[in-house]
Amino acid sequence: MPQPSTVNDCMHRQPLTIRPDANLVQAVELIVEHRLTGLTVTDDAGAVQGVLSELDCLRGILASIYNDGDPEHALVSEVMTSNVNFCSTSDSIVEAAQSMLDTRQRRRPVVEDGRLVGQVSSRNILWALMEHSRRKVQDQRK
């Protein structure tokens, strides 16, 4: 019987990223324009520096308005989550899903050799698990 797939089988291979020194308003525009729940923050070499969620953006914009009234002055690095859980292409999607549930984080940067190679989200994993279930049912009917 086939096992659930690995992260490599369901990850998004070219996720949108943003630099830590980018303006928070630019990040929000990217998130809204592309209908994302967040971005991976990387440096010039492609190393992950953090993740920026919609809630991080909301918190940053509200703090900026409260403090000086201008969100244009806020930087991604000031509001991003730097304590990031990674996964690799060979990780089981079941393990990745359990880790997401344990930490209540909806996405994982996929890192190989210290560089971002993709991103996997809870939505990607849901799709892969449903495909696995469908195949299992089809195999049982044969």
Name all domains of the chain by residue range, CATH numbers in brackets.
7-141 (3.10.580.10)
What angle (nearest 5°) sits at the alpha carbon of residue 81, between those of residues 75 and 82?
95
Q: What is the pLDDT along the chain (142 residues), one digit of tens a residue?
A: 456 689 999 999 999 999 999 999 999 999 999 998 899 999 999 999 999 999 999 999 999 888 876 777 889 999 999 999 999 999 999 999 999 999 988 889 999 999 999 999 999 999 998 887 887 777 777 7
Determine the pLDDT at residue 20. 97
Beta bridge partners, 3, equal: none
Token digits for 136? Answer: 């299992």
How many residues in total does the chain contain?
Answer: 142
Determine the pLDDT at residue 108. 93
Determine the pLDDT at residue 71. 73
- Exposure on the CB side of residue 131, measured as CA atoms within 13 A: 13
Q: Which residue has the tokens 């919609």?
A: 54
Determine the pLDDT at residue 131. 86
Determine the pLDDT at residue 1. 41
Contact 42, 86 (CB under 8 A): no
* Furthest-apart CA atoms within the chain: distance in Å: 66
Per residue in 86-108, pLDDT (tens digit) is 999 999 999 999 999 999 888 89
Percent of the chain with pLDDT over 70: 96
- Please report, for residues 22, 37, 58, 64, the alpha-carbon distance to residue 30 in angstroms, rounded to integers and kept in the order given: 11, 10, 14, 19
Closest CA to 6 of 82, 89, 81: 89
Q: Tell me the whole-structure pTM to 2 decimals.
A: 0.83
Determine the pLDDT at residue 105. 87
